[in-house]
């Protein structure tokens, strides 16, 4: 839990309209504010305004661009990346941004002797192994400060998505002075180089940030940003209509028309890297039989669910969406066919079906704006028609994540997510890869899917830089995972946000957790 740092005049809704204050509604608390130790959107929404990474993205895209590093070079073998830092940048605590500072912070990702070694910390979810490699698998990068302005990464094996991964919010650089002062409690004392500085956190209520006057891109247009925690979607929308908040990040599809019809509001849509599905624990009966998993896909009328819950979203056939260059148009969605579902269940030895649990959450997500409870309730009767009795187990989102990440759960669970770096390996491998050397599942492979052919394709695709060849490999992965059916593939959505009509300069990136709130103003 974050430490509460109370400043004079604790923020409340009553003073939301103070000059140059932007209030953004979140549906839940962040799990922490150390970018290396969380994977949830709520944390990233806030962290993207506190931290910068070595690499950024061009506005509104996933094309890598300079960040804290003004330039970089890559060796011909794709293993050595050398970054030249921009000069004159300081952390929000006044500490200079040097190569030594960057290397000291990222040492937490790759050095088991570091007392704050992230993979060794209890109860955290991290992209560190995905980005910087795994010590256990022998793929960890060597990070060194060549001189005060030059950082070098040496990778044991090539990683074609490395530059894109360095632009993720999770690769944000923390001031090493925080580690010296607070030990491993960085999540409670966030200090980066970003446009806004951490002020205070009141759990289940709000997080307040103040403008960083020395931000290297220029002082933000707003004096402060308040992330107001409002779990209920109805309450979030009402707060927007009353101008108590200016931006709502999670909007129900059923509210789209109401927002569009209000001249005081704006509904903002953008291409997105989002995926939604119902996953299965594939390493235990009954879902260790591919016929059962395929039956689940045939049993559910995804088209009807997408029309009723997701404002007509198209049914998906694979985990990546069409904006990815690895999308495979030849892979088609499973059609609704309850007779085929019953036939497959009978062939698998379940002519009378079975009973299983379905783990879910109640809140809406960017990749599931209707909410987990609504999707679970929509799936349940379709499975009942083919003899599968579903017991819905609903959790608060944090407890849900803890359940699927840290317990040997069985049955079914809602899966989904947003692309974090624009590279298809990020969306696909974190959900379907298995490390054959370390015998570990990838960070978001919560259903414990393991296909050695797929794992080999992932390793090959990461080892080359030719995008066309990589695309063919990921398209093959999409075809295999479709046929293996570890998920009921539901849909891929756009990013949809709501704001007051006077909000100007709000840029949406296809990667969900990233903002440039320093560009936002109120007209």
Per residue in 434-491, pLDDT (tens digit) is: 988 888 898 889 999 999 999 999 999 988 888 899 999 999 999 999 999 999 999 9
Predicted pLDDT of residue 125: 82
Whether the bond into 286 is cis, omega within 30 of 0 = yes
Predicted pLDDT of residue 10: 39
Q: What is the 3-state secondary structure (H, E, C) of 484-508?
A: HCCEEEEECCCEEEEEECCEECCCC
Of 346, 244, 245, residue with least CA distance to 295:
346
Which pLDDT tens digit goes with each residue over 234-245?
999 999 999 999
Over 50: is that where the pLDDT of 14 sits? no
Identify the three-state secondary structure at position 195. Answer: coil
- Please state the separation of Cα 173 from the chain's center in Å: 18
Over 70: is that where the pLDDT of 123 sits? yes
Q: Domains of the chain (ranges plus CATH)? A: 16-50+194-271+494-523 (3.40.190.10), 52-176 (3.90.76.10), 274-491 (3.10.105.10)
Over 90: is that where the pLDDT of 9 sits? no
Q: What is the pTM of this model?
A: 0.82
Angle formed at CA 306 by CA 302 and CA 307, multiple of 5 degrees: 120
Assess contact for 130 and 423: CB atoms under 8 A.
no
Predicted pLDDT of residue 366: 81
Residue at token pair 């990070």: 143
Predicted pLDDT of residue 419: 85
DSSP string, 428-476: HHHHH-EETTTTEE-TT-TT----HHHHHHHHHHHT---HHHHHHHHHH
């Amino acid at each position: 839990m974050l430490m509460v740092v109370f400043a004079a005049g604790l923020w409340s809704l009553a003073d939301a309209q103070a000059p140059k204050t932007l209030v953004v509604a979140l549906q839940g608390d962040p799990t922490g504010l150390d970018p290396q130790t969380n994977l949830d959107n709520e944390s990233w929404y806030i962290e993207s305004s506190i931290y910068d990474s070595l690499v950024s993205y061009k506005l509104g895209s996933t094309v890598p661009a300079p960040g804290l590093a003004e330039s970089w070079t890559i060796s011909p073998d794709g293993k050595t990346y050398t970054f030249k830092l921009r000069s004159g940048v300081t952390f929000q605590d006044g500490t200079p941004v040097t190569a030594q500072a960057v290397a000291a912070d990222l040492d937490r990702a790759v050095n088991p002797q570091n007392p704050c070694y992230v993979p060794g910390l209890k109860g955290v979810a991290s992209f560190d192994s995905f980005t910087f490699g795994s010590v256990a698998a022998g793929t960890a990068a060597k990070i060194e400060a060549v001189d005060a302005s030059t950082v070098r990464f040496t990778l044991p094996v090539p990683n074609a998505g490395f530059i894109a991964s360095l632009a993720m919010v999770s690769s944000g650089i923390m001031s090493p002075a925080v580690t010296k002062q607070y030990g491993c409690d960085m999540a409670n004392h966030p200090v980066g180089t970003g446009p806004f500085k951490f002020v205070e956190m009141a759990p289940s209520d709000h997080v307040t940030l103040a403008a960083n006057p020395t931000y290297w891109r220029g002082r933000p247009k707003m004096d402060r940003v308040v992330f107001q925690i409002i779990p209920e979607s109805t309450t979030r929308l009402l707060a927007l209509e009353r101008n108590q908040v200016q931006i709502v990040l999670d909007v129900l599809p059923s509210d789209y028309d109401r927002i569009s019809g209000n001249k005081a509001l704006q509904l903002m849509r953008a291409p997105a890297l989002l995926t939604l599905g119902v996953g299965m624990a594939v390493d235990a009966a009954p879902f260790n039989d591919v016929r059962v998993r395929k039956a689940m896909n045939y049993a559910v009328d995804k088209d009807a669910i997408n029309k009723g819950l997701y404002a007509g979203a198209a049914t998906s056939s694979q985990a990546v969406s069409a904006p990815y260059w690895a999308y495979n148009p030849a892979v088609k969605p499973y059609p609704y066919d309850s007779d085929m579902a019953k036939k497959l269940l009978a062939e698998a030895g379940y002519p009378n079906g079975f009973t299983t649990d379905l783990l879910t959450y109640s809140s809406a997500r960017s990749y599931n704006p209707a909410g987990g409870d609504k999707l679970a309730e929509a799936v349940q009767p379709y499975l009942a028609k083919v003899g599968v009795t579903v017991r819905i187990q609903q959790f608060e989102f944090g407890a849900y994540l803890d359940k699927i990440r840290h317990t040997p759960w069985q049955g079914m669970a809602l899966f989904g997510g947003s692309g974090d770096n624009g590279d298809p390996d990020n969306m696909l491998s974190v959900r379907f890869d298995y490390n054959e050397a370390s015998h570990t599942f990838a960070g978001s492979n919560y259903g414990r899917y393991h296909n050695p052919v797929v794992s080999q394709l992932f390793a090959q695709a990461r080892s080359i830089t030719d995008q066309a060849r990589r695309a063919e490999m990921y398209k093959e992965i999409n075809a295999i995972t479709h046929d293996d059916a570890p998920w009921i593939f539901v849909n891929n959505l756009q990013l949809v946000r709501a704001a007051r009509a006077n909000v100007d300069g709000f840029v949406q990136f296809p990667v969900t957790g990233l903002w440039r709130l320093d560009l936002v103003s109120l007209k």
